[in-house]
Every structure is written in C-alpha cells, then in structure tokens.
A = this chain, B = another copy of it.
Amino acid sequence: MVGIKDVARQAGVSVGTVSNVLNRPERVSHEIRARVHAAIDLLGYVRSESARQLRAGHSRMLGLLVMDTGNPFFAVLAQGTEQVAAEAGLGVMVCNSAESAAAEQGYLSLFVEQRLRGVLFAPVASDGEPWQALRRANIPFVVVDRAVDTRTACSVAADDVLGGGLAGRHLLAAGHRRIAYVHGPGHLQQVRDRREGLARAVEEAGLGTDAIVDIPAERLDVSAGRDAGARLLGLSPRPTAVFCANDLLALGVMQTTFDAGVRVPDDLAVVGYDDIEFAEASLIPLTSVRHPAAEIGRLAAGLLLREIEPPDPERGHQHTGIVLRPELVVRRSSTPQP
C-alpha cells in the first residue's frame, strides 16, 4: 500500500512537505505543489484515515444509535443528522440497538473504541445512566428523542405528553368516550408519555380512567399492530377510537379492522404517532401526531457540533435541552365524511 513516504520519494521532497501540500497548500510553493500532486496521481495515493485518527486522538465521525433502523421515523432522523454532519465535514455511523439495552451498550463501547468525535443516541432504558461509557471517555453526546436534565447532557425531543394530549382531545372532541391505547414495550419513555397525555385529556373531559382501554403490543411495528387490531376486535363493548403509540402500529391495526369490515373512520377512528410518510400514503390517510424527525436529527447534530467545538471557548459548554412541539395532522382516518 502506497504511503506518504512513497509520494515524498517520488516527488523528491520530504514527508512533511507532502503533508503540508495536503493540509496547508498555501504554505508550499507552486512548483512543489504541482510535483507532489503529480506524484500522488501517479502512485494512486490515498490518505490513511486511521493514521490521521491516531495522531489526532479522535476520528472524524459521529455515531448515531437508534432503536429501529427499519422504522422510517429513524431513517428520516438519520438523514437530518447526516446532512448537518456532512456540512461540518463529518461522517455518521448509524447503528441499530433494536430496543435492546445490551445491544445499546455494545454499540456504545464500539463508539468509544473508535474514538468517535461525538454521539447521538436514543436511549432504550428509561432509568440508569446508559451513557457512562461515553462520559468516561470524554466523548460529547446528545440524547435524541428524549428529554434529559440539562445538567446531564444536551437533548432534543418532542413533547410526547403534549402529543398524546393532542390526539386524545381530538378524539374526545369528536365524541368518543371509549378509546383504546395500543402501546409497545412499556419500558420506553415515549410510549408512557403518550399515554400520560391521553390520560390527562380524558381527565380534563371529566371522564374516568376506564375510558382508556390498554392494548399492549410486543413491538412497535406493523405486525404487532395487526395482532393488536385482532385483540381490539374481540373487545366488547368495542372502543370507537384507537390511539396508537406509533404509526406502524396504527397501520397494522387499521388493516386488520378494515379487513374485518369495520369502517374507518365511521365505526372506528384511528390516530397514529410520528407522521411517517406511510401515514399520509395510506389509502385511508392516517391522522397522526407529527413528530418532527428530520428537525430533531438536524438540531441534535447542531447541538453536538457546538459541544465539540464551542463557538465561545472562554465559557465552558452549557447543555441545552430542546423540546419541540408536536402537531396534530388530521386526516381521514379520524374524521367521518359529511
């Protein structure tokens, strides 16, 4: 493999000069610069990123750890961070914790071994300090899609309680008095917060807690949604509305019930969460709480960059917590046609 030494020899200069051509071309005379570039082309030289990293002490990559790379919500979030990172000349390594705390820890160790420049991650567990490894290694990180104490870290999240409230009030306003809540694994903070918002809306409306019917699901995906839909059909009396912890579940629920001849929205109103592209693309477009994925990704990357290179190095870094407001996007799945 051809290295900087070979280039130097070929061009008849020292290695330091070649390095200067690459990194501070203005300090090198025109003629030498040309000679070095000619040698580089001739030999097909490519810088070794690992050697640069070793010297620099850290890589030029960010890590992004999400709970499900198959969920379009996270795919969009990842695109947002990649965009911002690319503008700063940084790459992004996206990893999938698959909602497993063990996998999460594994990837975080990997990130430390790689000496990543910074990390964005959506923690799985709702308690404990999953980021300890990063702390010890002094790797800046931003918590994504979940708010944490600003004494701990920067974070970018959306207000899930508010979002759950939006969904709840929307359904209550339409006259529904018995609402199913289809939720994924209970250890996820987001899932609990959304229910909390729904519960408050129900309370505001002066209804008892039995206005909410919990339907647990194994995972947060379409097939779990189909199972949940089947269970929903078995309930008696059947709820007239269903709120799902995310859009994938809602799509699954809607499919099963639609198949069984239940008319959406007339017999059953359905509201999802996240507003992924497929919510809008459904044949009966899905009402959903818009969770601004791309913006979360972009803002979080921005905060991370600020933590990596403070614009004002004098005063130390102050953690920032951004909480975005979700919006209800009303579509046909919850609004009977006149």
Contact = CB atoms under 8 A, between A and B. Distances in A.
A70 B72 contact: yes
Contact of A93 (B1, B93, B96): B93
B75 A69 contact: yes
Given A57-B1, A59-B50, A75-B75, A283 B281 contact: no
Interface in A275-325: 277-278, 281-285
A111 to B, nearest CB: 10
Interface in A239-294: 251-252, 254-255, 258, 277-278, 281-285
Contact of A281 (B51, B93, B252): B252
A82 interface: yes
B51 A54 contact: yes
Interface string A58-77: 01000000000110100110
A34 to B, nearest CB: 22
A115 B222 CA distance: 38
Contacts of A254: 283
Interface in A129-183: 133, 136-138
A48 interface: yes
A153 B21 CA distance: 35
Contacts of A138: 1
21 contacts: A44-B137, A46-B113, A46-B133, A47-B113, A48-B54, A49-B113, A50-B51, A50-B54, A50-B59, A50-B115, A51-B54, A69-B75, A70-B79, A79-B96, A91-B110, A222-B277, A222-B281, A251-B281, A254-B283, A255-B283, A258-B283
A contacts with B: majority SS? helix
Interface size, A (range):
35 or more
Given A70-B76, A91-B110, A93-B93, A284 B281 contact: no
A6 to B, nearest CB: 14
A195 to B, nearest CB: 24
A138 B46 CA distance: 12
Contacts of A112: 46
A109 interface: yes
A175 to B, nearest CB: 24
Given A76-B70, A222-B277, A137 B283 contact: no
A6 B54 CA distance: 17
A218 to B, nearest CB: 16
B59 A69 contact: no
A10 interface: no
A78 interface: yes
B255 A49 contact: no
Contacts of A70: 72, 75-76, 79
A48 B115 contact: yes
